[in-house]
């Protein structure tokens, strides 16, 4: 079996086009969705992510504003800005780029963001609400994976899903979202003994561990859909996922490449969440 290679850029383009039309429709209410992005310090990767988010937002007509602070900024100053943004009617989404400086209380920062503007879905309210299937904003990366499965008409209900990786931003919310869609879900992590005994059972295998070549063909069931969230930079500069793409694509039914698979969906779902926040603000979405 040779897998269908899922084109994440194509799926992302469709979602973005839908968002662009919804942004236009919001114009009739005198509203343009606004996203505020806060970055503290000069982590080079964070700077690139923030620039990419701002660019993608403006391409679909959102108003995005980046608030950049030097690393030595007092946490209280960032908290004050979040409070101001919470009350700013032109801002519908607030995102704090992680990581923050080590002396910051990350939970306090995230909990200060209004849950109605928490477009990254990291506020404890949204984290908890995901467990009961009523989150306001699903976190962007697992939401993107969900959209990919939907776009590819990959049935989730009743399927065996194995999620490799149990982080708060990818693995755990991914598992909750798919469980909500009636999958039978198993979560694996670094202390899982004999990973292959679990992955081989997966009809849908989602991998988010940050370990190149973690998933080899013999660990994958023939015909499984394999979603590779991992992003790893090899010493030679190549960007790869967590899955042995060449080997596993000879066995899976579907596979996402890295780059060009899940990656483009993450920023796209941030746009989607921000548009939805603006729609709720004007009262056209519940």
Helices (H), 60-183: 75-86, 106-112, 124-131, 140-151, 171-180
Does residue 197 have an active-site annotation? no
Residue 186 CB burial class (10 angstroms; 0-12, 13-18, ≥19): middle
Specify whether 120 is catalytic: yes
Q: Shortest gap between Cβ of 65 and ligand NAP (angstroms)?
A: 22
190 binds ligand NAP (CB under 6 A): yes
Active-site annotation holder among 9, 42, 88, 97: 97
Residue 86 in tokens: 């919470």
- Which token pair is 257? 């490449």
Residue among 118, 120, 228, 242 flagged as catalytic: 120
191 binds ligand NAP (CB under 6 A): yes
Cis peptide bond upstream of 99, omega within 30: yes
23-31, 91-99, 111-119, 229-237 -> range binding ligand NAP (CB under 6 A): 229-237
Span from 43-51, 108-116, 153-161, 203-211 in contact with ligand NAP (CB under 6 A): 203-211
Q: Is 229 an interacting residue with respect to ligand NAP (CB under 6 A)?
A: yes
Distance separating alpha carbons of residues 269 and 141, to the nearest angstrom: 7
Any contact of residue 90 with ligand NAP (CB under 6 A)? no
What stretch of H or E contains 270? helix 263-282
Q: Which is nearer to ligand NAP, 205 or 214 (CB)?
A: 214
Give 270's contacts (C-beta < 8 A, 6+ positions apart).
35, 53, 56, 57, 93, 95, 119, 120, 140
Q: Is 88 a catalytic residue?
A: no
Interface residue with ligand NAP among 91, 136, 231, 269 (CB under 6 A) is: 231
> Does residue 135 bind ligand NAP (CB under 6 A)?
no
Is 170 near ligand NAP (CB under 6 A)?
yes
Q: Residue 139: which of 181, 169, 102 has the closest Cα? A: 169
> Which stretches of the chain bind ligand NAP, using CB under 6 A?
141, 164-167, 169-171, 188-192, 195, 208-211, 214, 229-232, 262-263, 266
Which residues are the active-site residues? 53, 97, 120
């Amino acid at each position: 079996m040779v897998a269908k290679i899922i084109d994440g850029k194509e799926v992302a383009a469709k979602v973005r086009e839908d968002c662009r039309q919804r942004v236009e429709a919001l114009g009739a209410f005198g509203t343009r969705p606004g996203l505020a992005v806060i970055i503290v310090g000069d982590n080079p990767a964070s700077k690139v992510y923030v620039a990419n988010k701002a660019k993608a937002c403006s391409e679909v007509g959102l108003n995005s504003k980046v608030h950049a602070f030097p690393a030595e900024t007092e946490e209280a100053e960032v908290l004050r800005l979040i409070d101001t943004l919470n009350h700013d009617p032109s801002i519908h989404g607030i995102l704090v780029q992680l990581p923050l400086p080590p002396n910051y209380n990350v939970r306090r920062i995230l909990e200060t963001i209004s849950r109605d503007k928490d477009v990254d879905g990291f506020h404890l309210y949204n984290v908890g609400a995901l467990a009961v299937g009523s989150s306001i904003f699903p976190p962007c990366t697992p939401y993107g994976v969900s959209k990919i499965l939907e776009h590819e008409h990959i049935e989730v209900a009743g399927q065996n899903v194995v999620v490799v990786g149990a982080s708060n931003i990818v693995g755990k919310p991914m598992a909750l979202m798919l469980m909500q869609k009636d999958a039978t879900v198993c979560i694996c992590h670094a202390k899982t003994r004999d990973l292959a005994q679990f992955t081989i059972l997966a009809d849908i295998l989602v991998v988010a561990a940050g370990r190149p070549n973690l998933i080899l063909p013999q660990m994958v069931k023939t015909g499984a859909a394999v979603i590779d969230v991992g992003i790893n930079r090899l010493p030679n500069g190549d960007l790869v996922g967590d899955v042995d793409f060449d080997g596993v694509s000879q066995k899976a039914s579907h596979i996402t490449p890295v780059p060009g698979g899940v990656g483009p969906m993450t920023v796209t779902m941030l746009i989607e969440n921000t548009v939805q926040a603006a729609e709720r603000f004007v009262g056209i979405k519940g």
